[in-house]
Amino acid sequence: MDLGIAGRWALVCAASKGLGKGCAQALVSEGVNVVITARGADALNATAAELRALNGGEVRAVVGDITTPAGRAAALAACPQMDILVNNAGGPPPGDFRDWDREAWIKALDANMLTPIELMKATVDAMAARGYGRVVNITSGAVKAPIDVLGLSNGARSGLTGFVAGLARSDIAAHGVTINGLLPGPFDTDRLRVATQGAAAKSGQAFDAIWARRVQGIPARRVGNAAEFGAFCAFLCSVHAGYLTGQNILLDGGGYPGTF
């Protein structure tokens, strides 16, 4: 299937590793020109080299923290035209809400709610004016089913999701702009491995035992991989997904137990 987006420009935030990288790989393979960001230059430049080797769209790498005004400005400046925006950033740490002060909450809100809102504010009107736009917000399965130790994530991402439910249905919808949430369940990335290592250290159990138990809880009996996440993201960005907006789509191997 030709996704019909070759030659378009995309900004994929937080894309030196993991799910963001998977999205960038899929888009570049479709001939999309992509700006990727991350805070660490080494990992980002290595990923940019991998993406260029795909011989797809042009690849630009911008070092910076996407949760800061300077990081966002640099990312936007590198993208000559914004057709596709994939919002992503690191997730908040786990913990107990009794230990979180205002600063911890503001940090989580900045990363997982206000940064994507700022980037949509900077881009959706121009997308609407050109008659084509795709925004994919990488959030979490925690939006549908909260994860007990990830209260900061549950809260911040639900705030984003509520805001987007309104924005997606506003006047931009009639001008070819779609906004959807992509909700990962467990995916095999650094984040999941570090979280599993943390759980192993805390409980005294082996990493493999915790990983195996996690997999047992997923009907697909495996965790997801970044390539399949990226392929789904690219489809959401395609010409074929123009009638899909304001939705929150779980990619979790069947882990969420509800009918809807």
Q: List contacts with ligand NAD (CB under 6 A).
A: 14-20, 37-40, 65-67, 88-91, 111, 138, 140-141, 184, 186-187, 189-192
Contacts of 154 (CB under 8 A, 6+ apart): 142, 143, 146, 147
In the 8-state DSSP scheme, what is residue 254? T
Q: At CA 122, angle to CA 89 and CA 103, rounded to 5? A: 45
Q: Which is nearer to ligand NAD, 63 or 173 (CB)?
A: 63
Contact of 208 with 104, CB cutoff 8 Å = no
Exposed/middle/buried for 166, CB within 10 Å: 0-12, 13-18, 19+? Answer: exposed
How far apart, in whole angstroms, are the C-alpha atoms of residue 26 and residue 38? 18
Of 143 and 179, the one with the shorter C-beta distance to ligand NAD is: 143
Alpha-carbon distance 203 to 197, whole Å? 10
Q: Minimum distance between the CB of residue 190 and ligand NAD, rounded to whole angstroms?
A: 4
- Taking the complex as a whole, the smallest distance from the CB of residue 1 to ligand NAD amounts, in Å, to 25
Minimum distance of ligand NAD from residue 65's CB (angstroms): 4
Read off the DSSP letter of residue 92. P
Residue 133 pairs in a beta bridge with 177
Count helices and strands (H / E) in the chain.
9, 7
Taking the least distance from each CB to ligand NAD, the nearer of 83 and 252 is 252
- Comparing CB distances to ligand NAD, the nearer of 82 and 138 is 138
Of the two residues 165 and 251, which places its CB atom closer to ligand NAD in the complex?
Answer: 251
E strand or H helix that includes residue 155: helix 151-167
Give whichever of 67 and 123 is closer to ligand NAD, judged by the CB atom. 67
Which CB sits closer to ligand NAD, 140 or 178?
140
Q: Identify whether the C-beta of residue 233 lies closer than 8 Å to the C-beta of residue 20.
A: no
Q: How far is the CB of 132 from ligand NAD (least distance, A)?
A: 26
Cα 238 from Cα 99, distance rounded (Å)? 43
Q: Write down the least CB distance from residue 171 to ligand NAD, Å.
A: 29
Question: At its nearest, how many Å lie between ligand NAD and the CB of residue 127?
Answer: 22
Least separation, in Å, of the C-beta of 187 and ligand NAD?
4
Tell me if 178 sits within 8 A of 59, measured CB to CB.
Answer: no
